[in-house]
Amino acid sequence: MPKTFLITGGAGFIGSAVVRELIENSDHRVVNVDKLTYAGNLESLASIADCPRYAFIQADICDAPAMQRAFADHQPDVVMHLAAESHVDRSIDGPAEFIQTNVVGTAVLLEAARGYWKALQASDPQKAEAFRFHHISTDEVYGDLAEGPSSSFQLPASSSLFTEETPYAPSSPYSASKAGSDHLVRAWQRTFGLPTLVTNCSNNYGPYHFPEKLIPLMILNALAGKPLPVYGDGQQIRDWLFVEDHARALIKVATDGQVGETYNIGGHNEKTNLEVVQAICALVDELRPKTSSFQLPASSLIIFVADRPGHDLRYAIDAGKIERELGWVPQETFETGLRKTVEWYLANREWWQRVLDGSYQGERLGVV
């Protein structure tokens, strides 16, 4: 039976992938609530914008009356909360905005959801029983897995992957704000009985990724013959998850997950940052047009720059729980997903050019 999904941050990178997946591959209805900050781009939803099962509300999750109206007007069955400030470097430069959106905004949304759910218990107990609030978080709340003095938290030697039981030890203002929002969601479930679920994911990549993040930045700089800056020695390890695989996992959790549970979602693709950049270089060399003005090996553009403050050394997700309990497994390997990503950026110059020059939102951005 079709459900109504209220998705916050649905114009962002992961959110837009979830919206496209729901509209293109199900009969569900989608209400997209997005403030349209720099990272929100409605052009990422152009393919489904005219679908009668899709609606868009421009609103800030910190605006309590707007959130209450969204619930009252659209009567959602499922909330998928993706709206967040998410760039670590930006959180170091300006932590307050991350606390406001990620912590305060989540509290406002939880209260709007709780009021709506309590009213449903009186008016439509069956709909109230089926209601779900799914909070989407990050593996960065766990800190890092590295051994040695740079590690933010020393796990036992036998622990080589983040599990759902790994203690929280966030390192950056971004990850600390996401940890706070995770705790709020669990508190609303424990204290008020709100039917919540939490997922923590590894690094996402794929089409429509904002060009300040590692993979799209390296693709576009390599195509333009610009330097490819790598933090420190490039040996930081991340587990990479193709965004469309993540979208499918999130929908699976929202519809079939157990209330009160946490599910880690990972791609089984641990790579050092340097390995990722080198793989991008090889694909750009292979796939870029032969008429490109820059034809030297892209790897010649790699430079090493001062490391990020508090940089976590290794993230790696144990996704065994979601695989065992819900039957989700990623469809893409890192190699297939990265090739699809590079091919997409080569084929969609207009999308990323409008992001780089700011015309997608009517102002210029300072993106390298």
Q: Give yes or no: 140 in active site.
A: yes
Q: Please, what is the end-to-end C-alpha distance for the chain in angstroms?
A: 46
- Sign of the torsion angle spanned by Cα atoms 237, 243, 245, 249: positive
Q: Report how far residue 93's alpha carbon sits from residue 299's, in angstroms, rounded to the nearest whole number.
A: 29
Helix ranges, the chain (H):
13-25, 64-74, 88-93, 95-98, 105-123, 125-130, 173-192, 214-224, 243-256, 273-287, 320-326, 334-347, 349-356
Residue 234 to residues 110, 213, 289, 301, 305, Cα–Cα distance (Å): 39, 15, 28, 14, 9
Check if 139 is active-site.
yes
**Partner residues linked to 264 by β-bridges:** 200
C-alpha to C-alpha distances, 149 to 144, 146, 157, 213, 260, nearest whole angstrom: 12, 9, 15, 27, 35
Catalytic: which of 139, 239, 245, 332? 139
Catalytic residue among 43, 140, 144, 312: 140
Of the residues 54, 116, 142, 174, only one is catalytic, namely 174
How many whole angstroms separate alpha carbon 144 and alpha carbon 334? 21
Q: Report the distance separating Cα 12 and Cα 126, nearest Å.
A: 32
Spatial distance between the Cα atoms of 251 and 80, rounded to a whole number of angstroms: 9
Residues ≥6 apart with Cβ < 8 Å to 180: 99, 102, 103, 106
How many angstroms separate the CA atoms of 295 and 297, rounded?
Answer: 6
d(CA 259, CA 196): 6
73 in catalytic set = no
**Catalytic site positions:** 139-140, 174
